[in-house]
Amino acid sequence: MNWTWSRFADLGVDNLYDALALRCRVFILEQGAYLDPDGIDRDSWHLLGRDDQGVLQAYLRVVDPGIKYEEPSLGRVITSAETRGTGLGRALTAEGVARCDRAWRGQGIRISAQARLERFYRGFGFERVGEPYLEDNLPHLEMARRPA
């Protein structure tokens, strides 16, 4: 997987288009309608994973500290339907966590995770904080990871 790590202003139109298209396929067509462009993308880093043919297969954003939570926050973590079950989601999340650890040394990471993925995120050191809640009509959990 070829990773690209960019600020919103540096994404370029092709990367932005591909990221939004993948996010729409997964978050809107697969999971149900909601407003994906939430105004936070501009205050985030964007991690894109393209295969050897240049097709975007994985994406996540890291929201700057102080925007959504006090800590940096992973979000919009997705892989294409074609790559699920291959370990790409784990590679994507590991890459995102590593980038956070390098960019914000000594800070933890906080996420709003789909409740069904609690075990997945626990594998990266995230622990549940509080009770489940609904976000975009899906059960979610706030989870936090201590500083590395």
pLDDT at 26: 78
For every one of its 148 residues, what pLDDT tens digit does the chain have, with 9 covering 90 and above? 899 999 999 999 999 888 988 888 777 667 666 666 778 899 999 999 999 999 999 999 999 999 999 999 999 999 999 999 999 999 999 999 999 999 999 999 999 999 999 999 999 999 999 899 998 788 999 999 998 7
Q: What is the pLDDT of residue 35?
A: 63
Distances (CA, A) of 33 to 75, 90, 117: 17, 26, 20
Tokens of 116: 């069904």
Nearest CA to 126 among 138, 140, 139, 137?
140
Q: Which residue has the tokens 């070829």?
A: 2
Helices (H) and strands (E) in the chain, counts: 3, 7
**What DSSP state is assigned to residue 102?**
H
The pLDDT of residue 143 is 97
Return the CATH architecture of domain 2-145: 3-Layer(aba) Sandwich (3.40)
What CA–CA distance (Å, rounded) separates 122 from 100? 17
CB 19 within 8 A of CB 48: yes
Report the pLDDT value the prediction gives residue 120, as an integer from 0 to 100. Answer: 96
- Beta bridge partners, 133, equal 140
